[in-house]
Amino acid sequence: MELTVESLVFLLFSLITLGGALMVVTTRNLFHAALFLMLSLFGVAGLFALLTAPFLAGIQVVVYIGAIAILIIFAIMLTPQVTAVPPTNSQWIAGVVVAVVLFALLATIVTPLLSELGVEGWGAVFTEKNPPPVPADSIARLGEAFVDPQAYMLPFEVASVLLMAALVGAVMLVRPARGAEDEAPQTGAQE
């Protein structure tokens, strides 16, 4: 792989994504974890831009960073966080093992590692380097696909119904009970 500016930019964004993700799952302070999540999602947006999908990169920033991450931060602020206890639960070692094994399995499948090592019957499949160019009006085509009855109009409408259901559901879940005063703090924590 030659060292072009593009591969350097790819390396930068990959490091941002993976580094941010590592910090999300290990840091004790939950607010910092949310900020690192934003950083990681920003890295993913950069990767989308590198993959010539500018619309998805923009949507990633607007939806994930501008809405979902802010929602998560609001939830973090509304619930108390205790930083004295370690952030991991009792099965974290099993978690590490599972994650590492999963990554190893995936890496053997997607990378040409095994075929380079000479294992027979394992051809390197995903080594495509020069894909055909993206047509210039791909954003217009994307828009047309969403409203074309022969294409993706039905999933589009179903998605909007899904969002409406989520909106109504979320609002109904957190409403205070009808006519109830602010409830006194439950003594459940002191049992």
Partner 1 sequence: MTDLLIDIGLSRGLAVLIAKTLGVFALATVGLLWTFFCIWAERKVAARFQDRLGPNRAGPFGLVQTVADAIKIILKEDIMHQGVDRWVFNLAPILSVMSVLLIWVVIPFTPTLIGVDLSIGVLYLFAVGSLGSIAILMAGWSSNNKFALLGAFRAVAQLISYEVPMALAMLVPVVLAGSMSTQDIVRSQHVMYLIAAPLTVLIFIIASMAELGRAPFDILEAESELVAGYQTEYSGFKFGLFYVGEFLHAFTVGLLIAVLFLGGWRGPFAEDVPALGFVYLLLKSFVGYFVVMWIRMTLPRVRVDQILDLGWKFLVPLSLVNLIVVAFLWKILPGTDSITSVGDALVPSLVLLAANILMIAGVGVLLREEGRRERARIMARRAAQPVSEPGSVADTAPAGAGD
Partner 2 sequence: MVPLWMYLLVAAGLFSIGMYGVLARRNAIAILMSIELMLNAANINLVAFWRYNQPAHVSGQVFAAFVFVVAAAEVAVGLALIINIYRQRRSVVADDVDLLKW
Residues 31-90 that bind partner 1 (CB under 8 A): 31-32, 35, 38, 54-55, 57-59, 61-62, 65-67, 69-70, 73-74, 77
103 binds, among partner 1, partner 2, none (CB under 5 to 8 A by kind): partner 2
CB-wise, 89 or 149, nearer to partner 2?
89
Residue 176: CB minimum distance to partner 1, A: 17
Specify whether the CB–CB gap between 42 and 65 falls below 8 A: yes
Q: Nearest Cα to 66, choosing from 41, 49, 43?
A: 41
Site for partner 2 in 129-168 (CB under 8 A): 129-135, 138, 141-142, 145-146, 151-152, 155, 159, 162-163, 165-167
CB-wise, 17 or 42, nearer to partner 1?
42
Residue 119: CB minimum distance to partner 2, A: 16
Q: What is the rounded distance in angstroms from the CA atom of residue 169 to the CA atom of residue 20?
A: 31
Q: Nearest Cα to 96, choosing from 11, 25, 169?
A: 25
CB-wise, 63 or 119, nearer to partner 2?
63
16 binds, among partner 2, partner 1, none (CB under 5 to 8 A by kind): none
Interface with partner 2: number of residues (CB under 8 A): 95
Q: What is the rounded distance in angstroms from the CA atom of residue 41 to the CA atom of residue 55?
A: 15
- The pattern of x and - marking residues 89 through 108 that bind partner 2 according to CB under 8 A reads xxxx-xxx-xxx-xx--xx-
147 binds, among partner 2, partner 1, none (CB under 5 to 8 A by kind): none
Residue 19: CB minimum distance to partner 2, A: 10
Specify whether the CB–CB gap between 14 and 47 falls below 8 A: yes
Q: Cβ of 25: how many Cβ atoms within 10 Å? A: 14
Buried b (16+ CB within 10 A) or exposed e, 71-80: ebbeeeeeee
Q: Nearest Cα to 14, choosing from 52, 35, 60, 45?
A: 45
